[in-house]
Every structure is written in structure tokens, then in C-alpha cells.
Structure 1
Amino acid sequence: MSSDASKAWLDLLDWRREASALYARVRDELPRDPGAAHQHWQTGRNALFKHHAQSPLDAAARASFTQLPCWPYEPALAFTARVDVAVPQERLTVASSTGQAMPLVRFGSVVLPIGTLDVYWIDVYGGGVFLPFRDATSGGQSYGGGRYLLDTAKSADLGRTASGELVLDFNFAFHPSCFYDPRWSCPLAPPQNVLSGPVRAGERAF
């Protein structure tokens, strides 16, 4: 293995540390001041995209990058919900942006005022809770392959309430890395996780 390849693994480790620290700050501030937590999230992601060696942006894109487009914070799209684990578990594979298969286990669902979404476990080493979705903005104002609300394998986790409900705030929805550069392979939102209405919150395409 070349020294460049070895450095890339260490850079990825550092990216995950930085992302974990960012979400820890967000989880701490979100109950007290959601708007400020959202601003910290944007500022932190902008810094990672602009400066980090593992940025989804290539060098040319980083040179001109200023910030990730986001909708203004919308309190009406911030929810908490208990995961219904009574639904039958289902093993499935979803396509990634590069055509590779990603194994998932549907282990629950959440019922939200804007629709019902399945909650998945990424069924590979390390795993992680995964909640992708598409909505009426997908393919226009946001990526056609969907956005991610939770991806705990990447530290994207808003936490849970004292009563055990997941914090599901769509203002923190983000695009997978493949939206910014096709060299990245990212699982796409399954057909059953499509919301009928537009979710104008979180990161947008423009």
C-alpha cells in the first residue's frame, strides 16, 4: 500500500472524529436553541467541505467553495418519534450511486406528521442506524437519490429524548457525498422511503 493510500485512511479517521465532535455539539445545543445548533452544524460542515482532505469536493471545487446551500431553519419540520419495532424485520439490498448493492435490515418505522419512514440498520461490519428519504424536492431542489436524516455510521446522529424517542429534525437533512462527486459510492433512499410532499429544510441543491 502506498503512503498516499495510508494517509487517506488516516484522513478519513480524522474526518469521522471531526464529524462526531460536530454532532456532539449539535446534540448538546439543540434542546436549548435549535436555530443556533443549526448554524453550528452548517458552519462545521462548511469548514469540513472547504478544508478537509476527505472533503467530498475535489480540489478545484474546494477552491471556489463558500457554503453548502441550506433552507432557513423551519421549526415545523423538527420532530421526535418512537421507533415502532413491531413491524416485521426485512432484509433488503439497495442500489448505491455506483451500482453496488448495500445490504440493509428494516428494523422499525417512524410515523411523522409528514409521513411514515422505515428505519434501517446498515448490515455490514460496524453497522449503523440509517434513515434516508426522498421527497417532492428530490430531483429538483435536492438530489434525486435522496437525502440522509440519520447515518450513525458517519456520526450523523441527533440523539434521542429522555423518553427514548429519536430526534428527527429535517433541518439537519444532508446530501450524500456522491451528490458532490460521482467517485463516492452512497446508498440511495429505498422506494418505500418517499414522502409525498416537499421537505424544504436541510441541505438543498442550489
Structure 2
Amino acid sequence: MKQKHILTLLVGVVILIAVTYTLTSTESPEAYQEKIEAERERQFKFIRFNAESPLSDEQKQAFTKLNFYPIDPAYKVKALMVPIENKKVREVPLTDGSKERYIEHSYAEFELGGKKQKLLLLQSMDEPDKRNFFLAFADETSGLETYGGGRYINARQDGKTSITLDFNLAYNPYCAYNPDYACPLPPKENLMDIAIPVGEKNYDK
């Protein structure tokens, strides 16, 4: 085979490998770690400095950090979205006794901790992007190492019937920092019977 043809073949193979890698590769552990740490830093800066922070000015002066579990990629799961055929509006109780309206959209089914899980995905009534969902949940750490009123995940549908739930990004509602706020409580479907030892821990006042 002529050298020119060999070179052409090698270039073609390299391009094919590069394309295949691009299409099939997953995020490296280092990149994932950096992404989660960057989000945690963003959360801290918002709570510490933003005018919309739930902390009072006095609290901000004493605020030095948020508390998190170590990052564990095993708690980033790909879930199957099972649509609710007859979608209806649910009045979700808030911590102050009032209620807020959400659309019951679908269930996220996945396996975690050796158990099958099925969590209710809610959607805000005025959500402009219909691929965005709100997940409020409580688990075996709630009221102990994490806020007793549960934690939240903002999730985005990333496939026709799939959604990624990253519990490393679980965060506290505003009322965990300031009881003057009213926050949605997890629906009964999302009271998990396993511990989720990732994400944000209790706010240390």
C-alpha cells in the first residue's frame, strides 16, 4: 500500500476514534468534582452576599460556610420518566400552613441503595421551560444531619423518557436558614426510606 494511502487511512481512523470518543465518553471524575464544587461556591456566595439571600444582615456577618457531605458520583442517577396520564394540579403544603400549586407531571423511577425508587416530579404552574422539574424529598438523614423539612433538587429532562437526578446537588430550602420563609414540603411519594448522605447538610446557625 502506498504511503499516501496509509496516511489517509490513519487520518480517517484517528477522526473516527475522536468522533466516537466525543459521542460516547462520559464526564471525567475530576471534571464532575469541579462542577459540583463550583456550584457549592456559587451557593455560598449567593447566601453570603446576595440581596435576595434568606439570611439577615446580622446572620451574613457571622456566616462563613455551607455544610456539605463529601461528593459521591454514585448518587447521580439516570431515571426513567413515567408520565402521569391524567395530570392534575396538586396543592403542596408549605411550612407556614399555606399551600402552593404545582402540576403533577411524572414519576422518576430508578434504583439507589439497592432499592427501587419512585419519586414524584412536580412542575411549577408558570414554568416556561417544560423540561424543567422540581423535586422535593426527605430521607433517613432528614431531621438529623439534614434539614427536617426536606431538601430540593432542580432537575432537567435530558432525553425523551429520561431525567438525571443528582443528589450531590440537593440543597436546603430558604426556611432552613430563616423560619420567616414558607417552603414547600416533600409530597408523601417522596419520603424515601433510605439515607441520602450527599448534598447539603443542616445549616449551622
* TM-score, structure 1 as length reference: 0.75
Query: Which stretch shows the higher mean deviation, 71-80 or 83-92?
Result: 83-92
Q: Distance in 2 between matches of 1:182 and 1:166?
A: 32
Q: Distance in 1 between matches of 2:137 and 2:200?
A: 13
| Counterpart residue number, 1:85 | 83
Q: Distance in 2 between matches of 1:100 and 1:162?
A: 35
Cα RMSD (Å) of the superposition?
A: 2.2
Amino acid at match of 2:145: Q
Q: 2:84·2:104 contact (CA, 8 Å) conserved in 1? A: no
**Which consecutive unaligned segments of at least 5 residues does structure 2 have?**
1-25
| Counterpart residue number, 2:181 | 184
Query: Which stretch shows the higher mean deviation, 186-195 or 90-99?
Result: 90-99
Query: Which stretch shows the higher mean deviation, 122-131 or 85-94?
Result: 122-131
| Counterpart residue number, 1:171 | 168
What is the deviation of 1:89? 2.3
Identity of aligned residues (%): 25
Q: 2:153·2:169 contact (CA, 8 Å) conserved in 1? A: yes
Number of aligned residue pairs: give it: 170
Give the 4+ runs in structure 1 shifted more than 6 A.
none
Q: Distance in 2 between matches of 1:79 and 1:36?
A: 18
| Counterpart residue number, 1:121 | 123
Q: Distance in 1 between matches of 2:49 and 2:157?
A: 31
What is the deviation of 1:91? 2.7
Q: Distance in 2 between matches of 1:45 and 1:90?
A: 33
Q: Distance in 1 between matches of 2:176 and 2:64?
A: 17
| Counterpart residue number, 2:71 | 73
Where 2:104 maps in the other structure, the secondary structure is strand
| Counterpart residue number, 2:14 | none
What is the deviation of 1:87? 5.0
Structure 1, residues 112-158: CA drift from partner, whole Å, max 9, x if none?
213110111223576962111110111111111110011xxxxxx5x
Q: 1:87 to 1:110 in 2, by over 3 A?
A: farther
What is the deviation of 1:81? 1.8
| Counterpart residue number, 1:42 | 40
What is the deviation of 1:63? 0.5
What is the deviation of 1:34? 1.2
Structure 1, residues 24-47: CA drift from partner, whole Å, max 9, x if none?
xxxxxx945211001001111111
**Which consecutive unaligned segments of at least 5 residues does structure 1 have?**
1-29, 151-156
